[in-house]
Amino acid sequence: MKTELKTLLPQLRRFAFSLTGSVQDADDLVQNTVERLLNNPPEPHVTLLHWCFRVCRNVWIDEYRSRKVRQAGANEPELQEASTDGEATMLAQIQLTQVQKAISLLPEEQKEVLSLVAVQGCSYAEAAQILALPAGTIMSRLARARSALVQSVLIAEGSYTL
């Protein structure tokens, strides 16, 4: 399990970052998740990736409730590739900041679904299994999250007013 868990760490870290919005908080969340996974391994018939996401989500919910979310702001994530074009790098950073801000305004349920489907590439059925929700709920939360993100970007660009 340890070697398989090592290969899943990048996906788990991206998922944790999407929940927390902070590199440091995501690292702490991944560490707590891995610790919990090693202390309480899943049943043999359970898909490890799905179990990792579920444990990570549950650890985050525990922290969220106990600390009232300590998102002091998202630092520059280390998920970007280096670029030699300064203008392209700056535009990408601005877009990333806008997307992070828009995602941070979403309700937690929508962030979770958006992260699993859009970032991790899970199918609706996989996301439904991970979050223990009906697939229809996954689809409606994802639709609401996408709609909210589009409105947020349009408002930021000044091409849409309330």
What is the distance in angstroms between the CA of the first residue and the CA of the last residue of the chain? 51
pLDDT on residue 68: 53
Residues of the chain with CATH 1.10.10.10: 86-162
Q: What's residue 140's pLDDT?
A: 94
What are the per-10-residue average pLDDT scores of the chain (162 residues)? 86 89 89 90 84 90 65 42 64 77 86 87 89 92 89 70 52
Q: Please report the pLDDT score of residue 89 as a whole number.
A: 76
Q: How confident is the model at residue 31, as a pLDDT?
A: 92
The pLDDT of residue 159: 60
Class of domain 86-162: mainly alpha
Instruction: State residue 144's pLDDT score.
Output: 93
Q: What are phi and psi of 132, to 5 degrees?
A: 55, 50
Rounded CA separation 22/25 (Å): 5
Helix %, strand %, coil % of the chain (to 5): 75, 0, 25
- As a CATH number, domain 1-69 is 1.10.1740
Q: Where in the chain is the domain with CATH 1.10.1740?
A: 1-69
